[in-house]
């Protein structure tokens, strides 16, 4: 029966690579195999599905997604970027630094890499080109900041990882904060240094334009465009870290707060609200369909003895926990070139989960490494998803070569921080 489990895993993986819908492949193939090889399959499956649907932590997914889309589609992101750019305007590379900060805020609230990279590309890339920024620096900044949502809380990725690894989502949020901040500082540090060494790569905004923007109503624009969205993120995270609210309750506060911000800005029109609801529904439906399919797969895989086989295989090879972890990280890094993070979380992790328990690997630490790893694979040439997302919305003068060359320094920063977190697990325990 273990042999059937192996065939099931690779069959699903190959069909997904062929481009078939993940949710239906996971659920459909697993149901067929379970019907044939697993006794009482249909008496076990409903209990598994209902257990997932009753998981209150997962309610945070649509709420966080709604919050992010509302901040983006209501135009709050435009005002946030414009205000940040002026505040950093006198600094060489100030526009790029503001893109990193705004990208981090949007990425954290949305957690969907494609949506954030495309949004940041549409908003900031034309502006950076108009300011005579280096195309390599502009594209690298946008892609790297757009993928920060994989690690910076509150992140949908961390919510899903918490659900699959059976660890508190709040603990994952706390553990991810320091690595996320180090990443942001690493990106900003690189931009600052390259702007000093090669000023023509990132010109400062002309003083006349800054003075014009800082005219009448500047304080009001700063409050509504910068302080309000920033306060919302701090309120959501602060309530979780202080133990006042669960991630689900904090997500509800964030969703309501994003609506109030849109109303204050006069951007909460029927068209915007309808578009946000539609986008939220599509993303949430995709996530939960994959989740149900993944639950069906893990039920069948476990019933066929796949879990026991993997544990026995690892024990036979006599890997140390660190070597095993290193192998898993490399495999996930490569797989991340070809399939999305949601599929990886729901397909790969349930398969290796028993081995993680046997190896006594800290699951919080593993979850943070997973998030960093997936983020790195998403921006690594030549297959990183985020590269293609930006290319799809970039002007004709931005070539694939520009994008590949621009992302390499940010990818090196990412790999360095991933290695640091692997070697120094205490980094993630600072706030716990």
Residue ranges of the domains in the chain? Answer: 2-429
What are the tens digits of pLDDT across the range 138-186? 999 988 988 887 888 877 788 888 888 989 888 898 898 889 899 999 9
Higher pLDDT, 374 or 429: 374
Average of pLDDT values for 109-131?
Answer: 73
pLDDT in tens, 56-110: 777 887 888 888 788 777 777 667 777 777 777 677 788 888 888 887 777 666 5
279 and 91 Cβ atoms separated by less than 8 Å? no
Token duo for residue 81: 């970027």
Identify which of 8-17, 391-400, 405-414 has the greatest average pLDDT.
405-414
Quote the DSSP letter at residue 1. -
pLDDT for the residue numbered 279: 84
CA 365 from chain center: how many Å? 17
pLDDT at 408: 92
pLDDT number for residue 123? 75
The confidence score (pLDDT) of residue 232 equals 81
The two structure tokens encoding residue 344: 């990886």
> What pLDDT is stored for residue 216 in this prediction?
62
Tell me what pLDDT residue 214 has.
64
Q: Burial of 132 by CB count in 10 Å (0-12 exposed, 13-18 middle, 19+ buried)? A: exposed
34: nearest Cα among 44, 25, 24:
44
Q: What is the mean pLDDT of residues 283-302?
A: 82
Q: According to DSSP H, which parts of 198-340 are helical?
A: 207-213, 218-222, 228-241, 247-264, 270-303, 306-317, 321-335
At 109 the pLDDT is 61
Q: What percent of the chain has pLDDT over 90?
A: 11
Regarding predicted confidence, which is higher, 313 or 413?
A: 413
């Amino acid at each position: 029966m273990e042999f059937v489990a192996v065939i099931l895993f690779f069959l699903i993986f190959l069909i997904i690579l062929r481009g078939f819908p993940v949710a239906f492949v996971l659920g459909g193939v697993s149901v067929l195999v379970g019907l044939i090889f697993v006794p009482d399959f249909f008496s076990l499956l409903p209990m598994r599905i209902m257990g997932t649907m009753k998981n209150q932590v997962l309610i945070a997914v649509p709420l966080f997604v709604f919050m992010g889309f509302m901040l983006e589609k209501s135009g709050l992101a435009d005002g946030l970027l414009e205000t940040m750019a002026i505040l950093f305007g006198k600094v060489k590379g100030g526009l790029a630094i503001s893109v990193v900060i705004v990208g981090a805020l949007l990425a954290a609230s949305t957690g969907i890499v494609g949506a954030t990279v495309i949004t940041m590309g549409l908003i900031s890339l034309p502006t950076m080109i108009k300011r005579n920024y280096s195309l390599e620096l502009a594209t690298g900044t946008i892609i790297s900041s757009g993928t920060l949502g994989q690690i910076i809380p509150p992140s949908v990725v961390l919510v899903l990882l918490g659900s699959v690894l059976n660890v508190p989502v709040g603990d994952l949020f706390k553990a991810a904060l320091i690595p996320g901040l180090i990443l942001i500082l690493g990106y900003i540090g690189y931009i600052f240094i390259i702007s000093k060494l090669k000023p023509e790569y990132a010109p400062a905004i002309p003083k006349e334009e800054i003075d014009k923007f800082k005219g009448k109503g500047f304080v009001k624009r700063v409050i509504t465009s910068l302080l309000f969205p920033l306060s919302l993120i701090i309120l959501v995270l602060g309530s979780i870290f202080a133990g006042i609210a669960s991630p689900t309750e904090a997500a509800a506060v964030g969703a309501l707060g994003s609506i109030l911000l849109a109303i204050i800005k006069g951007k909460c029109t029927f068209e915007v609200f309808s578009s946000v609801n539609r986008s939220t529904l599509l993303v949430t439906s995709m996530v939960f369909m994959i989740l149900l399919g993944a639950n069906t797969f893990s039920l069948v895989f476990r019933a066929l003895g796949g879990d026991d086989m993997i544990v026995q295989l690892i024990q036979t090879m006599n890997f140390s926990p660190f070597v095993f972890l290193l192998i898993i990280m490399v495999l996930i890094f490569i797989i991340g070139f070809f399939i999305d993070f949601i599929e990886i979380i729901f397909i790969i992790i349930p398969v290796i989960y028993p081995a993680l328990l046997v190896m006594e690997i800290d699951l919080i630490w593993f979850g943070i490494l997973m998030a960093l790893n997936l983020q790195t694979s998403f921006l690594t040439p030549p297959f990183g998803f985020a590269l293609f997302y930006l290319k799809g919305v970039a002007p004709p003068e931005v070539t694939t070569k520009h994008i590949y060359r621009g992302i390499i320094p940010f990818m090196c920063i990412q790999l360095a921080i991933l290695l640091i977190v692997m070697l120094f697990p205490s980094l993630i325990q600072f706030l716990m």
